[in-house]
Structure 1
Amino acid sequence: MDTPPLRVVQWGTGAVGRGVLRGLLDRPEFELAGVRVYDPAKQRLDAGTIIGRDPVGVLATRDPEEILGLDADCVVYAPLPGSRYGGDDLATVCRLLASGKNVVSLTGFVYPHARGPEFVEALEDACAAGGTSVHGTGVSPGFTGEKLPLVLSGLARRIDHLYVRDCFDFAGHPSRRFVRGLAGFGMAEEEYLEMLPWARGMMRELYTESMHLLAAGLRVDLDDIDLDHEHLHAPEDFDIASGTIARGTVAADRWTLTGRVGGVPTITIEIAHKADARRIDAWYEPGYALRIQGSPSMALALDEDWLTNGVTAAAGHALNSVAAVCAAPPGIRTLLDLPLVPGRFTRP
């Protein structure tokens, strides 16, 4: 007997959200149950129209109450961080969970235990009320900084230090709201500095979860985490997919998080963003690097060509997690709790 498709809601239709939406419409194990949008121009647009296809009969809504009232197995939660735009992601996710919908999130929730007991209690209570599970697949795209280091660590007899680095080139990223509104690229120095306290908080929230997830996987407890930041300016005017970056405006930043155990640096994550790596040659080339110091020591480096499209990868990571999250027992489910979730082989 065939298994009925999972009814899934897509929450947010930015670059990643549209990628998820395409997968929900293309793959037979899913049925699109609803679409939550934020742009007034998308209100009541057909989901197919939003991604440049023929209508599919599912109309988008800006009203979260309509989504909460739907009969659905799961919500793929992919808005921009609520803290930047006056929202509350924890409250929203808890309402979705309590309404009986599992949640796969691309906006935080990678390791909620890092956010403190009240944060965890709110999620666990909502999961208990709805009989549901929540899982964060992570950002950028949530594989290199979390899953891959833990997989490679399985080769080590002893680990002394774990170093992870991601360097992203935003030249092809299509979202101005993301590249300027969140990353701050194209902002004048004064405007950027006004945004910086929020950006520090966001980066700490997102990547502290990743740090504590890695620590839990390696069975250590971090005493504290330091966060350092620096940024660079555009040497000239140049155009990228999301618009023009003017000379002298912010065009790159680097964030370094260092987690200590017993006062000794044990886990380090570096994240570098560049508006256009061809124009900013400081720091590193786009790509990924992983180093484990121990016995044996090991290193892995992947240039930007190892992944042709990070936005599509983030969408695929979320899509491939939906079935496992729906099948999991109620509660918070991190990648330490879920089985390995492979992709799906398909022919055109």
Structure 2
Amino acid sequence: MISTVVWGTGNVGRAAIRAVDAHPALKLAAVLVHNSAKVGRDAGELAGLDHGLGVTATDDIDAVLAAAPGAVVYAATGDIRPDEALDDIGRAIRAGAVVVTPALYPLYDQRNAPPEFRDPVLGAIADGGGSLFVSGVDPGWGNDVLPLLISGLGTTIDAVRCQEIFDYSTYEQEDSVRHLIGMGHAMDYEPLMLAPSIPTMVWGGQIRLMARALGVELDDIRETLERRALDTTVTTRTMGEFEAGTQGAVRFEVQGIVGGEPRIVIEHVTRIHASCAPDWPTPPDGGDGAHRVIIEGSPRIEVTVEATDEGENRSAGGNATAVGRLVGAIDWLVDAEPGLYDALDVPLRPAVGRLGRK
């Protein structure tokens, strides 16, 4: 079995611990945490399981990597600390590990990634013999392998649209929701995630990846943005109160322009409460999250995926499917040559050995 470390125990890390524990080819070897209050706690408790896993969390990175794990699921955030995340991941690769992560947006399309991200990873691979696969937590499969698979069912294609529709009211990452995305801030506040060029920095790699797979040249990548204020004050279970008049919903697109038209589009529709912007796209049954792919053409094809995890929490379900894609790639990556991989390299594989497994 492949000894596997989960680095980080937030929204992604909790799901990663469960996914590693359930995978028949993997063995949970260690859990790394930053918060000292989590040190010494059982991984099963941190993951929300009803039983222990016999692995206690530690903050001793050197000791964990010195044990030469076969794989590392890097689940710590890279949103506001990309340089630190890149350094952490480089350390794990130099230790010889296969690393999977959603943390480094520029490496979604690794072939066209900026040298300041790509070169350190290639150097770490040359030094240590590890590998890296980056796929998004939005989730990545919804913006690469799923739309590309479905596109092959069409006769003619006019456009490919990938939607994430998400209600943040059950999410547990308050700093990101309030400050990076701007929920609860005045409407004249410019959150970092919505600043011009930032959506392209985050999702442009997936646009380029799909264009490469579809065999088309992009003229440009453009952005659109709409924001709505809350009509009334709302209270969320995980993040408290959001006042009337503050930002309550965001809708933006990252558009791949082909022949002067937006042909490959990633659209995000996010709310802090379902009452805000009810005229914007919603999940089919009015739930709190869905991922949809629309192939405009002949025939028109629309596929909506809804996932729940940690009870009926769909925000956790989206995280869990993104993690499933990453964790499910580990044994393939271990058997492959050391290298830097993207979603077009790594196959989406059946859940061999997991049917009926608790």
What TM-score comes out, normalization by structure 2 length? 0.84
Inter-partner Cα distance in structure 1 for 2:242 and 2:118:
40
| Equivalent in the alignment of 2:301 | 299
TM-aligned CA deviation for residue 142 of structure 1 = 1.8
Aligned twin of 1:323 = 331
Give yes or no for the alignment of 1:110 onto 2:108: yes
Q: 1:237-316 maps to which residues of 2 (within 5 A)?
A: 237-243=233-239, 244-286=241-283, 287-294=290-297, 296-302=298-304, 304=306, 309-316=317-324
Q: Determine if contact 2:307/2:321 at 8 Å carries over to the other structure.
A: no
- 1:180 shift after superposition: 2.7
Q: How has the CA–CA distance of structure 1 residues 291 and 50 changed in structure 2, closer, same or farther, with 3 Å as cutoff?
A: closer
More deviation, 116-125/8-17: 116-125
Q: Describe the SS at the equivalent of 1:337.
A: coil
Structure 1-normalised TM-score? 0.87
- Which residue of the partner structure matches residue 14 of structure 2? 18
Residue identity opposite 2:67 in structure 1? L
**Aligned with 2:141: secondary structure?**
coil
CA offsets per residue over residues 306-330 of structure 1, 9 Å max, x none?
9952232223222212211222221
Give the aligned partner of residue 135 of structure 2. 137
Instruction: Give a deviation string over 1:271-326, Cα, whole Å, max 9, x none.
Output: 111112244413211334433344x3422042757995223222322221221122
Assess, with a 3 A threshold, how the Cα gap between structure 1 residues 249 and 266 changes in structure 2: closer, same or farther.
same
Are the structure 2 counterparts of residues 143 and 32 from structure 1 closer, same or farther at C-alpha, using a change threshold of 3 Å? same
Match of 1:51 among 40, 47, 55: 47
Match of 1:143, SS state, is helix
Residue by residue over 1:112-147, the C-alpha shift from the partner in whole angstroms, topping out at 9 and shown as x without a partner, is 223234533332232222222211232222222211
| Equivalent residue runs for 1:66-85 within 5 Å | 66-82=63-79, 84-85=80-81
Query: CA offsets, 1:14-38, max 9 Å, x none?
Result: 1221111122234442211221212
User: C-alpha deviations, 1:41-66, integer Å up to 9, x for none?
Assistant: 21333323323555544332334333
The change in CA–CA distance for 1:181 and 1:75 in structure 2 (over 3 A counts) is: farther
Aligned residues: 340
Specify every segment of 5 or more residues in structure 1 that has no aligned partner in the other structure, as ranges. none
C-alpha distance in 2 between matches for 1:306 and 1:35: 24
**Structure 2 partner of 1:64:** 61
Q: Which residue of 1 aligns with 2:181?
A: 183
Counterpart amino acid of 1:47?
A
Displacement after TM superposition at 1:225 (Å): 0.9
Equivalent position SS for 1:267: strand
Runs of 4+ in 1 over 6 A off after TM superposition: none
Q: Which one of the candidate residues 89, 93, 97 is aligned to 2:89?
A: 93
Tell me, yes or no, if the aligned pair for 2:90 and 2:124 is still in contact at 8 Å.
Answer: yes
Percent of residue pairs bearing the same amino acid type: 31
Aligned to 2:232: 236
The residue that corresponds to 1:31 in the other structure is: 27
- Partner in structure 2 of residue 220 of structure 1: 216
Q: Classify the secondary structure of the residue corresponding to 1:16.
A: helix
Q: Give secondary structure in 1 for the equivalent of 2:228.
A: strand
Letter in structure 1 aligned against 2:225: H
What SS does the corresponding residue of 1:144 show, helix, strand or coil?
helix
CA contact (8 A) 1:123 1:331 kept: no
TM-superposed deviation, 1:264: 3.8
Change (3 A) 1:241 1:322: farther
CA RMSD in angstroms, aligned pairs only: 2.7
Aligned-partner Cα distance in 1 for 2:27–2:193? 41
What CA distance in whole angstroms lies between the structure 2 residues aligned with 1:41 and 1:212? 41
Aligned counterparts of 2:155 and 2:183: Cα–Cα separation in 1:
42
The 3-state SS of whatever aligns with 2:255 is strand
- Could you say if the C-alpha distance between residues 282 and 64 of structure 1 is closer, same or farther in structure 2, counting changes exceeding 3 Å? farther
**Judging changes above 3 Å, is the alpha-carbon distance between structure 1 residues 39 and 297 closer, same or farther for their aligned structure 2 residues?**
same
Query: 2:304 is matched by which residue type in structure 1?
Result: L
What secondary structure does 2:224 align onto?
Answer: strand
Specify the alignment match of 2:124 in structure 1.
126
Which residue type is aligned with residue 11 of structure 2?
A
Secondary structure in 1 matching 2:143: coil
Write out per-residue CA displacement over residues 161-204 of structure 1, whole angstroms, 9 at most, x where no aligned residue.
322222112233233344334433223445x42x3367655532
Q: Which residue of 1 aligns with 2:287?
A: none
1:157 to partner: Cα distance:
4.4
